[in-house]
Chains A and B, each alone.
Chain A
């Protein structure tokens, strides 16, 4: 297992790209429960990585460590050449570069959809309001719901809310997007509209790290799949290899349960 196996699958072209996320032996404890056990992986620029694994395997914890929603306790994390330490300046920098989409959308319910999107550009990126609003409307156009700009999040369907959340994250013009089970809280008929937006995003060359249970998406879009269990990376590989010919027994077991 481990990274050396993984990287052998990537093409030389991929190897020549810059490292966007480096996770080196990351440990994380909750009380006496170790959620991450030395997780090591590197994600390249413009790469789409899907993280799979049974629930409780630590995949969400890992992705949340990458923009410091959780603090890792051992090992090192670097994002776009900036190491994630206690330095507040680095944390700020990384959070600007990394957009995140949550399972529960987490839109701000008390302000309109457009305000949700423009809040961070105005106050964090210091964009003039007019410019930020134009950007917001463009992004809503891109995720396919320009007509909802002046509604409140509560008036939207789940799928629409998640698309707004994606637009909100994109408004910060991030270099990396993290998706933490973006479709798990959605009704089946709405999953597709969100996945379509994500596919479009992947095609546009965004670096993406996606925790999901959508195997179809993983197979279609992912450059690489990372399989985790009990806080460890078990297997890494391109989707065609991962789904048809997994090397590890635990991967096989997992696949047999879900497919």
Chain B
């Protein structure tokens, strides 16, 4: 009787439906139509912008990066940048400095407030929640401007403004602290530290193995830091013996110098295509079954096409769109190694690190913080403290949420197996709380980085402020905007990558 099935099905007439009723075709039609619509809109807007720019006689192009911008920047690694690119670089460095410092400070303060918020002590609890509510419910920009106004009302800067004269000055000119700087012998010393770290890791593994084997406490982490410290101390005096390392870098730089530019172009294209081919093959392998290749879904095809097109585009990019990229790559890597070689130099025997106390520079009748110390002028100080406290309020809530998210059963189980309170916190509660808090923490770090762009409100030279100045001078608005976007996207990608790295490492493997 198998025929019944056959005959009925045959009578059901399996012809293809018209295209507008075919689920798969409709699905793809809709998607492709949307894509075309979006691409067309973008193309249209771009061409419109092009027309309007030509009509207004504005030229586009990144040549302003190599021209003297004629601007002065206060605060940063270079007061008087020679080119537009250099000026933007100063801004980027300031943004990065502010972000990293802010992330560290906000994390510490945030954890502190978050834990205080959970305290049994009514007073501590209320003060912490008052802090959080105050910071969270007022715009950051208002905070910054309020801080700026308050700091501007501090005492006038004089030689004895205090609170610790010669070490820490707080005044209406901002905060001056001692500055630690990298001195002559630092790079040779860094080699010592590197060797120390490798040796320390080796020792740590040994001791860990011993601890696991015998159960005796061998302090593996402590021994790691011990070894590194020994190397650091010895290196502090002996570092000149590594002066020769520089010549290695010099050799590499010389080798790079002789590589022809076209070879790099070919190599890059080949790498892109090879990567795509390798990826597609691996992908197909993963879809291969004992009974042959499994049916590929739309998604699979899409991914493979995407990989292939991407590789081709990369090749086209290296050859046609920006051939200069290859030579830029060559030049900059050669420069990099030459700089490294210079850092080592010959016979540098100064100390690795130095420290300078803040000084006072008298300009006419006015005292100003001198260049020796680390000066945070009122603008940056307001910006920094406002951003740190603002972010800390959010981090505190995340920390609180993370700790409260650990189920009560975990505490009970830990108590049941007789763990001490501190061990329980360290081994059971905090690791789990940290895992819950990590993704939102990453978001806050991202927000903090982006919030540094409010520096413009206090005229601090971060990337946005410098970009804005250049934009006003040169009229290169689109280009500056592109640089902003690329920089901040790079920052956010970096932060997500770091957070993801920890996230993956911490993830509980379930089933």
Contacts and interface: CB of A to CB of B under 8 A. Distances in A.
B5 A86 contact: no
Name, among A29, A78, A88, the residue most crowded by chain B CB atoms within 10 Å (CB to CB): A88
Nearest to A2: B2
A167 B173 CA distance: 77
Nearest to B23: A86
Contacts of A88: 17, 21-23, 26
A20 to B, nearest CB: 10
A42 interface: yes
Contacts of B17: 85-90
Contacts of A86: 17, 22-25
A32 B288 contact: yes
B9 A78 contact: yes
Nearest to A74: B295
Interface string B420-441: 0000000000000000000000
B12 interface: yes
A2 B288 CA distance: 29
Contacts of B22: 86-88
A215 to B, nearest CB: 28
Interface residues of A, number: 31
A144 interface: no
* Contact count band on B: 20 to 34
A4 B2 contact: yes
A73 B297 CA distance: 10
A184 B294 CA distance: 32
B1 interface: yes
B55 interface: no
A37 B361 CA distance: 86
A78 B12 contact: yes
Contacts of B294: 29, 31-32
B210 interface: no
Contacts of B9: 22, 24, 76, 78, 83
B509 interface: no
B14 A24 contact: no
Given A31-B294, A86-B23, A87-B22, A19 B8 contact: yes
Given A86-B23, A87-B21, A89-B21, A76 B14 contact: yes
B170 to A, nearest CB: 57
Interface in A77-94: 78, 81-83, 85-91
Contacts of B14: 76, 83, 85
Contacts of A7: 1, 4
B287 A32 contact: yes
B27 to A, nearest CB: 9
Given A83-B14, A87-B23, A91-B23, A34 B5 contact: no
A257 to B, nearest CB: 24
A133 to B, nearest CB: 33
A22 B8 CA distance: 8
B25 A34 contact: no
B23 A24 contact: no
Nearest to A10: B1
Interface in A224-242: none
A19 B4 CA distance: 9
A40 interface: yes
B21 A42 contact: no
A3 interface: yes
B259 to A, nearest CB: 44
A31 B288 CA distance: 8
Name, among A24, A87, A89, the residue most crowded by chain B CB atoms within 10 Å (CB to CB): A87
B138 interface: no
Interface in A11-28: 15, 19, 22-24
Contact of B8 (A33, A78, A89): A78
Contacts of A29: 289, 294-295
Contacts of A42: 4-5
A83 B8 CA distance: 10
A2 B2 CA distance: 9
B212 interface: no
A128 to B, nearest CB: 28
A29 B288 CA distance: 11
B6 interface: yes
B160 to A, nearest CB: 69
B8 A81 contact: yes
B263 interface: no
B12 A40 contact: no
A244 B4 CA distance: 29
Interface in B179-224: none
A89 B22 CA distance: 9
A3 B23 contact: no
Interface in B1-49: 1-2, 4-6, 8-9, 11-14, 16-17, 21-26
B23 A40 contact: no
A73 B5 contact: no
A197 B417 CA distance: 49
Given A24-B5, A40-B2, A81 B12 contact: yes
Given A82-B12, A83-B12, A86-B17, A32 B289 contact: yes
B291 interface: yes
B174 to A, nearest CB: 56
A7 B3 CA distance: 12
Interface string A27-66: 0010111100000101000000000000000000000000
A22 B5 contact: yes
Contacts of B25: 86
B200 to A, nearest CB: 44
Nearest to B12: A83
Interface in B351-408: none
A31 to B, nearest CB: 6
A3 B8 CA distance: 15
Contacts of B6: 24
11 contacts: A19-B5, A33-B289, A42-B5, A76-B9, A81-B12, A82-B12, A86-B25, A87-B23, A88-B21, A88-B26, A89-B21
Interface of A: 2-4, 7-8, 15, 19, 22-24, 29, 31-34, 40, 42, 73-74, 76, 78, 81-83, 85-91
Given A42-B5, A81-B12, A82-B12, 11 more contacts: A3-B2, A4-B1, A7-B4, A8-B1, A19-B5, A33-B289, A85-B16, A86-B25, A87-B23, A88-B21, A89-B17
